[in-house]
Homo-oligomer: A and B are copies of this chain.
Amino acid sequence: MIVAYHEAGHAIVGHVLPNADPIHKVTIVPRGQAGGYVLSLPDEDREMVSRNKLQDRMTVALGGRAAEELVFDDITSGASSDIQSVTQIARQMVMRLGMSEKLGTRVYGQKEELVFLGREISEQKDYSEAVAEEIDREVARLVSQAYKRSQEILAKYRKELQAIAEKLIEVETLTREEFEKLIPPIGEKRIGGTPVMAGSNSR
């Protein structure tokens, strides 16, 4: 089943990347909406997230689609919500967090809150078409970089992808210990995330 490869893809990329949250369980048992899922626990509550960490998150999110494309001659709608997260992260980096050198340390777009609805429903474009194109290019660059990285990681761990997917089809759920038996340990992976920015946030 393609879903097993999809989930194995997320898990392997998350295992390999130094700034990704640690893997605790891999499963293809559907949970409500989502078909299968990789359970990764955030290390701790933190609000200062670094650029490196955001890039790793995007790469993990695209690991599912990258696995589908690598193994099968087709891709599926299964990556739909992954694609949505990736877009959101990349747009935040460029439009809210000043993490694109080209677009500078400023904010783009004004949030409109409709108080009477109890929620914000739209974002007002407060920049020119020329900037809109630059934003699109920067977001595209970040997303495609992340996708390429996840493709490279899975190409390197192709055998492990096969083994983990097959195991998942067999037993449906892998604990962290079972998962780690099927993949070599990555030296620099830290349990606690990047300690430098843990536990603090700034005004």
Contacts and interface: CB of A to CB of B under 8 A. Distances in A.
Interface string A87-112: 10011000011110000111100101
Given A77-B97, A133-B128, A200 B35 contact: yes
Interface string A118-129: 110111111111
Most buried by B among A35, A36, A96: A35
Contacts of A86: 105-106
Contacts of A17: none
A106 B112 CA distance: 23
A76 B203 contact: no
A78 B200 CA distance: 9
Interface residues of A, number: 86
Given A35-B201, A128-B133, A76 B51 contact: yes
A144 B3 CA distance: 31
A83 interface: yes
Majority-rule SS of A interface residues: mixed
Contacts of A127: 132, 136
Copies of this chain, whole number: 6
A55 to B, nearest CB: 10
A191 interface: no
A114 B121 contact: yes
Contacts of A65: 98, 105
Given A7-B202, A79-B98, 19 more contacts: A1-B196, A37-B202, A47-B78, A50-B75, A51-B76, A52-B74, A54-B77, A80-B97, A82-B203, A83-B97, A83-B106, A87-B106, A104-B144, A105-B147, A106-B139, A114-B117, A115-B118, A123-B124, A128-B133
Interface of A: 1-3, 6-7, 28, 30-31, 33-38, 47-52, 54, 62, 64-65, 72, 74-84, 86-87, 90-91, 96-99, 104-107, 110, 112-119, 121-133, 135-136, 139-140, 143-144, 147, 194, 196-203
